[in-house]
Structure 1
Amino acid sequence: MKDRVSLSRTDFSLVIKNLKAEDFTVFRCVLAEYPKKEETEYRLHPITVSVSPAIVLASQPLSLDCNVEKSTVSTEIKWSAPQNPGFSSQDSTLRVTDVSGRDHGVWTCTVTYGGRTAVATTSVTVVDLSPNPPQPIYHTLGSSTSSLLLPCSLANKLDSSYLSGVGFKGGHWSFTPFPWDVTPEDSRGPQKFLLSPDPQPQWKTPQGLRVNGTALETERHNLSMVQKIEEGGGFYTCALDFKDGVQLSRTVRVEVLRIVSSQGNPALVGQELNLTCTLGHSSLNNLTLKWTAPRLSSISPLPSAPHQPLLSIPTVRENDKGMWHCQLLEEGKVLATATLSLRTERVPVDVWLVVSICGAAVALVLLLPLISICVRRHRQKMFIRRRRKPKYCRCKHPQVKGFYKS
């Protein structure tokens, strides 16, 4: 003990380093100045803190104890949470019924006695997932941007090896479309990736093949995955399953911005075209849109933003081909940009031929009743003209036919 004990340079205080169990005993301080002699006795009391369990799963209960030996001096005990300074409890035994990631860290037990304080600490490891993103992730589809990194990680950058200590059974990523895109036969989509528990957690396909190049290989807390985004967007859920049916999950909402052409692509020259910038639903909340047309477009330049989702071109021209852009903004910040490479083409000759034939057929159908009516009326008139009136003999002395003399 001698190597751990020293006297303070400023006074006669005794300094003990690296306290051990045998240090909690009685110490006497004797000050002798002839002819006086003063003796003071100090008793060192241990503060014992314990936590159960030391590694706890989020949503599960936690118990912390702070015990002090009884003495003639009255004591007060106060617990403080690691990430919530406003939280405190004056009970020696503290029970937290619903643990979250904010409870991870060092808990402090403060003992107040005789105007002095003593502090004891204990560490709590909470296995939890990081909170959901505060707002949806906005994305655009394209040949090179159809995939997106979807965030999911263990809170406080906790190593995935801690999962085995809380009964980890496996995990998965799954997809659910938005309600307005759900058809009667649709339901929660199949699990896109599976997280195996042994020997070290790793991502696999539903067929059991290992997925290489994931963030989990280099960052043992990172469960994020690069996934191909569905055309309509939806909810992507990262879930971890534990014993007794406990599940931790976080859901990422992905909104897909796209430009929809009323004619498709290419557009026919000379006809009307409507371009719609949409997220798949009518509500934009506090978001705004900004259109950018090709420099030589027939409707360029556009009025200043914000713009409406619907952009109408009354008559498509050759100059309207090119790159059309639609930006989604929040307070001036660009969240996503949708692009449409519009092509134009003239109406083919065979199309005009079909239109002419159809027009002639319609005209013929309309003329047939008129022709029939005219023919019927003409026949009626001819029949009336051909009707002969009866002839009567006007001779003075009529005779039988054939006996008239010349």
Structure 2
Amino acid sequence: MMLCWILISLFVGFLKAQEVIYAQVGGTVTLPREKKDSENVYVNWYRGNNLTLSRNPQSGIQGKDTKTHANLLQDFSLQISPVQESDFEIWRCEQHILTSTFEKTYKLYHVTIPQVPALIAGESLSLECQIESTPVKHKVTWIPPKNSDCNQINLKDKKIEVNDVSRCHSGVWTCKLEYDSKQTEATTTVSVIDLSSSQDTVYTSSSEVKIPCSLSSNIPWPILNETGLIGGSWSFTPLNDPKSTHSLLSLSVGSVVRWIEIQDTISPVKAKERELKDHDLSINLPVSENTRGVYTCNLTFRRKQKKTLSRKVQVEVLKVSSSRGSPVYEGQSVNLTCTLGHQLTSEFKMKWNCSSFSNCSNFKLNSFNLFIPEVKLEHRGKYTCELWKKEKMEVYADLFLKTEKAPVDIWLYVAISSGVVVFLLLLVVIIMCIRRYRQMMMYRRRKTKFCCCKNPQQNQKGFYKT
């Protein structure tokens, strides 16, 4: 019994003689040299009983192992990077100054964070900082990713739980271990699969528009396939018919991932097929008035229950049109209309910019229309309609107004047409006058007739007007 206590005491004393150093496989750790004379000191670093690196004041630093991943810092401390599994043993620093010898022993211990598989937004995250047992006391603090400020959680335990993860939890999580006035950090990368869009509404007036949708982090497609990705889709709901939804594209998964067109579907818009090689899921569409609407990007995963990630993007098309078409002839009136196809809220406003003039104040303006009552040749030029949301211009659209002098044949056509109209009016007036005259003559020629009546009941004779 006494022997057991002696062995235990010797073992505890041996542990106390070693300085505890925690490290993570793949990380970096520094074994500090106790500061002695830096000019005349001889420094030898041993891994177990094997000399790894030495420093001689005359010949400099020498390495016994040319393949070593350890190196001496400027103060002759030993840095190991990256830490390998074989490094978790006893390291010894031996210093010689003249006839004096100083030794310091270190022992590397594991701090480990088990790797977490990729998660889908909405699932739960569990992280554990596993610390190899030693006599020293320690304190653990978790440091979330720099972008992780969405959920407040307890970060003071070895094991933490995060419910309902989102893309803000994606990134590098750090377990900060503090012990004996030292600290060590172990890290792990958490990947949260979610869809993101650079903007919820896209304003355009160009001939083609890119509708954004992407994975929130750049996760390789093989990992997505391993996570249970089974498909995806793009669909379209027109603004003028919100009850009607059209399928545009479906996602073909496998060694090659691509958007493919859905056959036998009738849709007012057509999207282009394309192969996907990164986290970008966006599509390109030709722009027309039919492009206005809400586009939905979906990814579907097979988990315990089928799970679908969705993002919606609304596309607004700004269009400028002329009531006269092109060209507009001198002397005509024209109305320029700028619209998104629906009524705007109070946070939006339209601004007109006339390149041919210092401003558009000479014309009749309102939010959507610019009215020119009499077009002149100098009105020719570019007219720009700008859509502003608060203090930011979202999009603008241009229209080039082409003005010309009215050709002679047009004036001739106008004169002949006017003459024909006048002739027809005169003819109608003459016919009406003739008919009126005839009616009056017939009335004058009509004679008064009399008849002789006999009344048997009365003995009266005479003539009576009938």
Tell me the TM-score normalized by structure 2: 0.61
Offset of 1:71 from its aligned partner? Answer: 4.4
SS at match of 1:165: helix
Offset of 1:49 from its aligned partner? Answer: 0.9
Equivalents in 2 of 1:305, 1:60: separation in Å? 59
SS at match of 2:222: helix
Equivalent runs, 1:3-402 vs 2, <5 Å: 18-21=82-85, 24=88, 44-53=108-117, 55-84=118-147, 89-133=155-199, 136-140=201-205, 145-178=206-239, 181-182=240-241, 187-191=244-248, 193-207=249-263, 214=274, 216=276, 219-232=277-290, 233-243=292-302, 244-264=305-325, 271-283=332-344, 285-292=347-354, 302-303=360-361, 308=366, 309-316=368-375, 319=377, 322-328=380-386, 330=388, 331=391, 335-342=395-402, 346=410, 352=417, 356=421, 360=425, 386=448
* Structure with the bigger percentage of strand: 2
**Residues 172 and 332 (structure 1), Cα distance of their counterparts in 2 relative to 1, 3 Å cut:** closer
1:399 corresponding residue in structure 2: none
8 Å Cα contact 1:215/1:222 also seen in 2: no
- In structure 1, the gaps of 5 or more residues are 391-406
**RMSD across aligned C-alpha pairs, in angstroms?**
4.9
**Residues 302 and 234 (structure 1), Cα distance of their counterparts in 2 relative to 1, 3 Å cut:** same
- Partner amino acid for 1:65? E
**Residues 85 and 239 (structure 1), Cα distance of their counterparts in 2 relative to 1, 3 Å cut:** closer
Offset of 1:160 from its aligned partner? Answer: 3.0
Number of equivalent positions = 363
Same amino acid, percent of matched pairs: 29
8 Å Cα contact 1:111/1:118 also seen in 2: yes
Offset of 1:67 from its aligned partner? Answer: 2.0
Equivalents in 2 of 1:60, 1:119: separation in Å? 26
Equivalents in 1 of 2:354, 2:139: separation in Å? 68
* Residues 241-296 of structure 1, C-alpha deviations (whole Å, 9 max, x = no match): 2224322233333221112333455657655432111122332734442232657x
Equivalents in 1 of 2:441, 2:208: separation in Å? 76
Between 1:167-176 and 1:19-28, the stretch displaced more is 19-28
8 Å Cα contact 1:321/1:343 also seen in 2: yes
Larger RCO: 1 or 2 (CA < 8 Å, sep 6+): 1
SS at match of 1:227: strand
8 Å Cα contact 1:6/1:15 also seen in 2: no
Offset of 1:227 from its aligned partner? Answer: 1.3
SS at match of 1:356: helix
Equivalents in 1 of 2:238, 2:450: separation in Å? 86
- Partner amino acid for 1:116? K
SS at match of 1:102: helix
Equivalents in 2 of 1:305, 1:71: separation in Å? 85
Equivalents in 2 of 1:215, 1:323: separation in Å? 42
Offset of 1:112 from its aligned partner? Answer: 2.0
Equivalents in 2 of 1:190, 1:262: separation in Å? 35
* Residues 284-323 of structure 1, C-alpha deviations (whole Å, 9 max, x = no match): 734442232657xxxx963399963211122346x37855
Offset of 1:335 from its aligned partner? Answer: 2.8
8 Å Cα contact 1:169/1:242 also seen in 2: yes
**Residues 90 and 170 (structure 1), Cα distance of their counterparts in 2 relative to 1, 3 Å cut:** same
- In structure 2, the gaps of 5 or more residues are 1-46, 56-71, 265-270, 453-466
8 Å Cα contact 1:51/1:63 also seen in 2: no
